[in-house]
Amino acid sequence: MFKKILIANRGEIALRIIRTCREMGIKTVAVYSTADKDSLHVKFADEAVCIGPPPSKDSYLNIPNIIAACEITNADAIHPGYGFLSENSKFSRICQKHNIKFIGATPEQIDAMGDKSNAKDTMLKAEVPCVPGSAGLLADAEQAKGIAIEIGYPVIIKATAGGGGRGMRIVWKEEELAGHYESASKEAEAAFGNGAMYMEKYIEEPRHIEIQIAGDQYGKVCHLSERDCSIQRRHQKLMEETPSPFMTPELRERMGEAAIKAGLAVAYEGVGTVEFLVDKYRNFYFMEMNTRIQVEHPITEEVIDYDLIREQILIAAGVPISGKNYYPQLHAIECRINAEDPFNGFRPSPGRITTLHTPGGHGVRIDSHIYAGYTIPPNYDSMIAKVITMAQTREEAIMKMSRALGEFVVEGVKTTIPFHLRLMKDEKFLKGDYTTKFMESFDLKE
Ligand code: MV4
């Protein structure tokens, strides 16, 4: 087992990883930018190393400084958390070369999934259901027109280097195709240095349902059921829940099996997530595979009573998984609390937290790094806490969430708590009747 793990991240996920390491008797090294010198992850870790100034590119993305921090502290593994370097194949490879275990996917697995058109091709070969579309990349807008006629409008063109919605256009009729193709390709070229595009039939009003998987170094892959992440705004998830209110035992079985096939296709090692689009007929299609621990992992942990960070560390250390699948025994909801003003287009609201009272009680979990007097820096993600509630039924989990959010007091900055309080009373949400289009017609003032 590892003796010391360096955590190449900040905020709540750094704390989350430190907690599991402590339980496992593993020493921890925090790294931090000068903006984070007073952060809890720095205080809670056994050792801490400053890796640069506030901008991410100079600190949490600064590979030479992170490797140097690892070498001077003698850490034998790096946990990258989510975001930052968690899906950076170059970093995964550099760790390998330095004999540091990267607690995440191999460079090959990251590259195989990072190119979306290539990932889809791999999934088609593995018989994972995919949206009908172009066979690989598009040569030009003319070729795209021909394929669009075959599959029928609306279609969606996507950047192969994209993900999270950038370099993506919906096309409703042929007249619009060439223009959208050029602008999306240019956007992708500027953002990712790769303008290559592929095309799919556009699935209208889908649900975003993802399956958690785990694979070990010996070729075994299992699934840990689903999370419904359909409530999102501009590709930022706001709330997640498990089980999905749209799920049936049959669909879970079929999606779980497809996710396992996806994992087996790349000999997946570690914990990962296979994202699917699910249409109103419960047809599901592979969308992307994430080769990292995700923000929303706690809801899965709570409904199957399973520490996913511990599992990541055990798998990386070469411990075999049991190989059995896991099914939800409870209902769990996560609300992401951001330092943003929900009444003002979710505009970021960094600054000093003057007063803080966090909720507690039965069935409530808070994953957060904030404290009274903490200053939220403007340089990073605006998430300041995750409120997770769990209960025997969805109705109870929602009631607990309303109760917990009502107790949550954050003064000094604006937060998305009022949004979540309103969401928990929304008629459609209460019925479980929502898709990825939900936020387009949501009005906080109603
Ligand atoms: C789609 C789609 C409809 N049809 N593909 C959004 C981000 C990227 N991962 C893929 N996305 C989508 N792909 C087809 N063929 C709709 C979306 C989409 C979406 C997906 C999941 C969650 C939220 C979304 C919001 C807008 C569009």
| pLDDT band with cut points at 50, 70 and 90 for residue 89 | very high
Atom of ligand 1 nearest to the CA of 204: 3
Q: Using a 6 Å cutoff on CB, does residue 167 contact ligand 1?
A: no
Residue 278's nearest CA partner among 203, 374, 212, 357 is 203
Tokens 């919605």 correspond to what residue? 165
Query: What is the 8-class DSSP label of residue 202?
Result: P
Q: How far is the C-alpha of 271 from the C-alpha of 315, rounded, in Å? A: 8
Q: What is the pLDDT of residue 386?
A: 98
Phi, psi at 328, each rounded to 5°: -60, 130
Q: What is the pLDDT of residue 446?
A: 80
Is residue 158 within 8 A of residue 197, CB to CB? The reply is yes
Q: Using a 6 Å cutoff on CB, does residue 287 contact ligand 1?
A: yes
**From ligand 1's centre to the CA of 165, what distance in Å?**
7
Tokens representing residue 244 in the block: 């999905």
Count Cβ atoms below 10 Å from residue 431 Cβ, excluding itself: 9
Q: How far is the C-alpha of 22 from the C-alpha of 11, rounded, in Å? A: 17
Residues 6+ apart with CB under 8 A from 11: 39, 41, 369, 380, 381, 383
Please list the active-site residues: 292
Q: What is the pLDDT of residue 48?
A: 98
Q: Residues 135-160: what's their mean pLDDT? A: 96
Tell me the pLDDT tens digit for each residue of 213-240: 999 999 999 999 999 999 999 999 999 9
Query: What is the 8-class DSSP label of residue 320?
Result: P
pTM > 0.75: yes or no:
yes
What string of DSSP letters covers 366-433? EEE---TT-EE-TTS--EEEEEEEEESSHHHHHHHHHHHHHH-EEESS--SHHHHHHHTT-HHHHHT-
Question: Whose alpha carbon is nearest atom 5 of ligand 1?
Answer: 202
Q: Using a 6 Å cutoff on CB, does residue 202 contact ligand 1?
A: yes
Q: Using a 6 Å cutoff on CB, does residue 238 contact ligand 1?
A: no
Rg of the chain over all Cα atoms, to the nearest angstrom: 22
**From ligand 1's centre to the CA of 204, what distance in Å?**
9
| pLDDT band with cut points at 50, 70 and 90 for residue 166 | confident
Count CA atoms closer than 13 A to 102's CA, side-chain side: 28
Assign 114 to helix, strand or coil.
helix
Tell me the pLDDT tens digit for each residue of 297-355: 999 999 999 999 999 999 999 999 998 999 999 999 999 999 999 999 999 999 999 99
| pLDDT band with cut points at 50, 70 and 90 for residue 88 | very high
| pLDDT band with cut points at 50, 70 and 90 for residue 164 | confident
Topology given in CATH for the domain delimited by 4-103: Rossmann fold (3.40.50)
Question: Whose alpha carbon is nearest atom 23 of ligand 1?
Answer: 436
Q: Using a 6 Å cutoff on CB, does residue 51 contact ligand 1?
A: no
Is residue 50 within 8 A of residue 33, CB to CB? The reply is yes
Q: Residues 122-147: what's their mean pLDDT? A: 96
Atom of ligand 1 nearest to the CA of 437: 25
Count Cβ atoms below 10 Å from residue 234 Cβ, excluding itself: 9
Q: Which CATH architecture has domain 207-440?
A: 2-Layer Sandwich (3.30)
| pLDDT band with cut points at 50, 70 and 90 for residue 163 | confident
What string of DSSP letters covers 230-293? --EETTEE-EEEES-TT--HHHHHHHHHHHHHHHHHTT--EEEEEEEEE-TT--EEEEEEE-S-
Which of 3.30.1490.20, 3.40.50.1820, 3.40.430.10, 3.90.1150.10 is the CATH number of 132-201?
A: 3.30.1490.20
Atom of ligand 1 nearest to the CA of 203: 4
Question: Whose alpha carbon is nearest atom 15 of ligand 1?
Answer: 202
| pLDDT band with cut points at 50, 70 and 90 for residue 445 | confident
Q: Using a 6 Å cutoff on CB, does residue 438 contact ligand 1?
A: no
Q: Residues 61-69: what's their mean pLDDT? A: 98
Q: Using a 6 Å cutoff on CB, does residue 156 contact ligand 1?
A: yes
Tell me the pLDDT tens digit for each residue of 402-419: 999 999 999 999 999 999
Tokens representing residue 176 in the block: 């619009």
**From ligand 1's centre to the CA of 31, what distance in Å?**
34
Q: What is the pLDDT of residue 397?
A: 98
Strand partners, 345: none
Q: Which of 134, 277, 288 to mutate to test the pocket of ligand 1 (most atoms within 8 A of CB)?
A: 277
Q: Where are the domains of the chain?
A: 4-103, 132-201, 207-440
